Amino acid sequence: MKRSTLVLAVVCTLTVHFTFAQTSGKQTQVKIQKTSMTREAEIKLGKEAATQIERETEVVKNAEIETWLNQIGQDLAKTPQANAYPYYFKLVNDDSINAFALPGGPMYVHTGLIKAAATEGEVAGVLAHEMSHVALRHGAAQMGKQQTWGTLFGVLGAAAGAIGSQNGQCGMLCQAGQIGAGIGGMAVLTKFSRGFEQDADLNGARMMAASGYNPMDMSRFFDKLAAQSGAASKSSGLEQWLSSHPASGNRSQYVAQDIRFYPKRDYTTSTGNFTRVKQAVASLAPPKLKPAALLTAKAGTSPRTNLPAGFKDMQAAGFSIAYPSNWQAGQANQGGGSLYLIPQGGATQTQNGGLELLVGGMIDYYRPETGAATLEATTNELIRGLEKGDANLRAERPSRLDIGGKAALLTKITTKTSLTREPEQTVFLYTVVRNEMLWNLVFATPPSRSAELSSVFRQMLQTVQFPD
């Protein structure tokens, strides 16, 4: 790994103590955090995390809104307080009040925050605060406390060895296991202590002032949200915002004290487009769920109590299923992909870098070419697509059944794998309409193991549950 090219101008420690020394004529020092992670590794981490974020959320594609958001963000990024990271800014179609910047600079703002803001300055204040977590290396410092990416995200049950390793290297599913639990896992990178929050407030206020925005807009917005806590009329998602932005005292008070040390200037910066952008945000269609979000393991769940003996639980956002405790679960690459539930040697890497299922289960979602999914038509569409890509594939007529209390189809398929000793494969394709898409569960086995695995597949199928 290359050495960091960033030379820090201050001596740093992981713990920041605040003395509120402004009242004695001394401005509070804001410290860049000391961490063993290099700047290059920090930027790489942020890019990988951003890939997962965008698999799970709907990023708004609207030129006017994107231009406006990046104009504000890039003006802030030019200030010394931004620490010269390669920031970029995207809007997520989500009505919860939230915004977060990932290590290295990717930043995401929820539409709910734009709706809750009264002025452009309040939005700029949130951007400056979140950018300050990056500039002060808060996410990198917290990452440095973790031993591996896997322990950071603690996913699925890292699928080490399910595919196997070479020369001591982690196998594909092991790598996928280490990448993790998507947005739920991002909490480690985006939820900070009160000390870090206050540092971000002070650095963000200074960033705003340097860019020409009124720094009090940031503290007033945060204080306004805190005052709404517990109110029956509070905005959607406020609890989430407050939990990830713990109160660090009277923000308006300590920011106002800090402003006494700023150079005198008028705060007049504005794009002049806030009202029009806010109207455009309000007119956006509701977000569409993405398959990656539904395949993501839910954090903080307790295993169900009615599982078969020797099984462990996998509770995703869109479904729950249990599988044998000596199997592994994981996704095929760092960006996510199908969820594999496989025994040792249950999958192999293909020549083009993909993953071939040999034995075990696989779950994914299929979005139809047009409109919302219907059980029969979309299942047929899915099978036709499989046939086009596999000349050996033969599908029988589907039969009806229930899975998790929902109408389903079972299609038995025969095909061939890349194994030379026993290329024949039997596949059981189960399909259910969920979230306007086709949830599909595949069980695969060579004929020689069909008797052994049929009861396992049946038990796994009986554990499937959907949230509604």
The residue among 282, 303, 322 that closes a domain is: 282
Pairing relation of β-strands 106-110 and 88-92?
A: parallel
Same domain, 310 and 238: no
In a domain, 44, yes or no: yes
Same domain, 329 and 303: yes
pLDDT the model gives residue 139 = 83
Same domain, 140 and 50: yes
- Rounded-to-integer distance, Cα 86 and Cα 223, Å: 29
Supply 387's token pair: 């046939």
Any idea what the CATH number is for the domain that residue 353 is in?
3.40.1000.10
Weakly modelled stretches of the chain, pLDDT under 70: 1-24, 143-192, 228-249, 332-336, 350-354
Q: Which residue segment(s) compose the domain that 357 sits in?
A: 291-462
> Number of C-alpha atoms within 13 angstroms, CB side, residue 173?
30
Same domain, 278 and 295: no
Same domain, 262 and 379: no
Same domain, 124 and 92: yes
Same domain, 415 and 458: yes
pLDDT the model gives residue 190 = 53
In a domain, 188, yes or no: yes
Same domain, 193 and 301: no
In a domain, 467, yes or no: no
In a domain, 357, yes or no: yes
Same domain, 152 and 208: yes
pLDDT the model gives residue 332 = 60
Same domain, 269 and 319: no
Same domain, 243 and 354: no
In a domain, 1, yes or no: no
In a domain, 69, yes or no: yes
In a domain, 414, yes or no: yes
pLDDT the model gives residue 416 = 92
The residue among 258, 282, 306 that closes a domain is: 282
Same domain, 274 and 305: no
The residue among 241, 258, 282 that closes a domain is: 282
Number of domains, the chain: 2
In a domain, 10, yes or no: no
pLDDT the model gives residue 160 = 31
